[in-house]
Structure 1
Amino acid sequence: MVLALLRRLAVLLVSALVASVLIFLIMSVLPGSPAQVALGTGATPDAVRALEQQMGLDRPLPTQYVEWIGGVLHGDFGLSYTSRQPIGPQLFDRLSVTLWLVLGGMVVALLLAVPFGVIAALRNGRPTGLVISALSQIGVAIPAFLAGMLLIALVAMRWNWLPPNGYVVPATDPVGFLRHMILPWLALGLVQGAVLTRYVRSSVLDQLGQDYLRTARAKGMTATAALRRHGLRNASIPVLTVLGVQLVTLMIGAVVIERVFVIPGVGSMLSDAVSNRDLITVQGIVLVLVVFALLVGFVVDVLYTVIDPRLRVQAR
């Protein structure tokens, strides 16, 4: 078990290292000079070369990579090409905002998907199951940004129940934080919950057809009791894979919702950096997002082993 965990951890570290090299190389081969962008079109060639030397862009690529990744390992992502301010503090502040957004949206999705997916499976072919399946299909077809705009138009603008946009630091005003985050959470959670509901339904239906559940029902247990006692753990394994993918998708796609609700997260920071051609900031943000995706995959692998005893035996 410990050896299997160490192997997965080694794969995670090697994958992160390879990803950092690829990200650095891709950013390095993009056309144009960051120094030229920072100085503007009217800058002289001598001024551009001087700023490139100051930025360290005139040194060999291996030297630039080693210096960059060494700083990243110590939390130093370098200086922004446009503002000349440290990237790390701003990136970590923005990351905390995005994590609140993503985790809240995922909680909403789970609160919707698990009960409704199980009910849809238990009532498969009946009116209740058909209604849930139809609603989840509609939810899958609606983009998150459209759901956000509809929520703003109805809940915020027409009914005036919640603020339409903005962000409040939770430590400063917890109530204001919740009021501002409810609509973004719903926009993400309703759409992702619809997708997840269909996977929960499919997984539970698969387990309901297994021999061990039929045996449990033959012994006098109801379908709900047999599923709760014996089937939910097995049904959660394929759902866990989808959940990990959705979490990564939410993190990477947060830029859209952050723009709709004017939330100062990583997505907005990435969009601004791309617009300003601030490549070193883009480089740091993309690396953080890739490492987040790798960490989610690592956690999902560990949870597989925790949930499925067969994998624990295999690991031994």
Structure 2
Amino acid sequence: MIVRLAQRIAILLASLAVSSVLVFAFMAVLPGDPARVVLGTSASDTAVAQLREQFGLNRPLVEQYLSWIHGLVTFDPGNSYISHAPIGPQISDRLQVTLWLVGTGMVIACIVAIPMGMVMAVRHRRPSGLILSALSQIGVAVPAFLAGILLITVFAVGLGWLPANGWTPPVEDPVLFLKQLVLPALSLGVVQGAVLTRYVRSAVLDVLREDYLRTARAKGLRPTQALLRHGLRNAAVPVVTVLALQLATLLVGAVVIERVFVIPGLGSLLLDSVSNRDLILVQDVVMIIATAVLLVNFLVDIIYLLIDPRLRVGAS
């Protein structure tokens, strides 16, 4: 177990290093000079050179890369090229918003997908299973932003039950926070839950065909009882993989949802930075998102070791 854990940590660190190099290299080859963007096209070469020196853009790329990594590791990524405001507090505030949105969306997706997928598998030859399967197919075809617009039209504009946009921190007004969180989280969670339902159904169907499930049913257990007692853990292994992929999809989908519901999250910060050509802020946000995806994959590997004893065979 310790050896495999060390291997996973080594893979995580190597992936982070490669990702950081790729992100930095991509930003470095983009056309345009950040100093020239800040000062405008009419600025003198002397003023541009001075600002480049202030930003550290006149240093060798290796030094710039090491300085950038040092800033990220020490949680001091410097200041924005455009606003000159510290980047750390901006990312921290926006990241909290995105984590609330993505985390709640994932919880909703699991609440929708796991029981529905199990019912679809157990009743796959019955009308109820076929109806649920058709509903999940419709959910897969609907993009998250369209689901958000439909939810706004029904529950905000039509019924007036929930606000259509905005964001209030939970410490300021918990009730308003929950009201503003419901629609965007549902937009992400229901759509991703429909996708996840198909994988849960497939995994459970595979387990139901196993010999040990047939033996359990032959002893008198109903299909659902046999599945819950003996098959659910094995069915969870492929589902965990999909959950990791879905979480990465939720992080990307949150960028659009934050725009639809006017939420000041990490995605909105990224889009604003791109439009302002604030490259250092874009670079930091992209690296934060890449790190989050890699950490999720790392946690999934650890969960594999916990739920599948076959992966621990021979491990010390």
Verify same fold: TM over 0.5: yes
Place the TM-score, normalised by the shorter chain, in its bin.
over 0.9
1:151 matched residue in structure 2: 151
1:128 matched residue in structure 2: 128
TM superposition shift of 1:312: 1.9
2:204 matched residue in structure 1: 204
Give the whole-Å Cα distance in 2 for the aligned partners of 1:197 and 1:314: 34
2:28 matches 1:35: no
1:310 matched residue in structure 2: 310
Alignment of 1:62-211 (within 5 A): 62-211=62-211
Q: Which amino acid aligns with 1:134?
A: A
Residue-by-residue CA offset, 1:132-187 (whole Å, 9 max, x unaligned): 00000000000000000000011000100000000010111111110000001110
SS in 2 for 1:169: coil
TM superposition shift of 1:18: 1.6
1:9 matched residue in structure 2: 9
2:221 matches 1:221: yes
Q: Which amino acid aligns with 2:78?
A: G
Residue-by-residue CA offset, 1:198-241 (whole Å, 9 max, x unaligned): 11111101111110100111111111110000011100110110
Give the whole-Å Cα distance in 2 for the aligned partners of 1:106 and 1:21: 30
Give the whole-Å Cα distance in 2 for the aligned partners of 1:252 and 1:151: 20
Residue-by-residue CA offset, 1:47-94 (whole Å, 9 max, x unaligned): 111111111101111111111111111001121110011111110110
2:291 matched residue in structure 1: 291
Gaps of 5+ in 2: none
1:23 matched residue in structure 2: 23
Residue-by-residue CA offset, 1:80-118 (whole Å, 9 max, x unaligned): 110011111110110010000000001111111011110
Gaps of 5+ in 1: none
For the 8 Å contact 2:203–2:235, the answer to whether it is kept is yes
For the 8 Å contact 2:188–2:253, the answer to whether it is kept is no
Give the whole-Å Cα distance in 2 for the aligned partners of 1:15 and 1:205: 34
2:300 matched residue in structure 1: 300
Q: C-alpha root-mean-square deviation of aligned residues, in Å?
A: 0.8
1:230 matched residue in structure 2: 230
2:248 matched residue in structure 1: 248
Give the whole-Å Cα distance in 2 for the aligned partners of 1:314 and 1:137: 42
SS in 1 for 2:313: helix
2:270 matches 1:278: no
Q: Which amino acid aligns with 2:128?
A: T
Q: Which runs of 4+ in 1 moved over 4 A?
A: none
The two structures have a TM-score, normalised by structure 2, of: 0.98
Q: Which amino acid aligns with 1:33?
A: D
Bigger shift: residues 199-208 or 15-24: 15-24
Identity %: 61
For the 8 Å contact 2:144–2:253, the answer to whether it is kept is no
For the 8 Å contact 2:305–2:312, the answer to whether it is kept is yes
Q: Which amino acid aligns with 1:7?
A: Q
Give the whole-Å Cα distance in 2 for the aligned partners of 1:132 and 1:40: 57
Q: Which amino acid aligns with 1:132?
A: L
Give the whole-Å Cα distance in 2 for the aligned partners of 1:88 and 1:249: 25
Residue-by-residue CA offset, 1:234-260 (whole Å, 9 max, x unaligned): 001101100000101111221100000
SS in 2 for 1:185: helix
SS in 2 for 1:315: coil
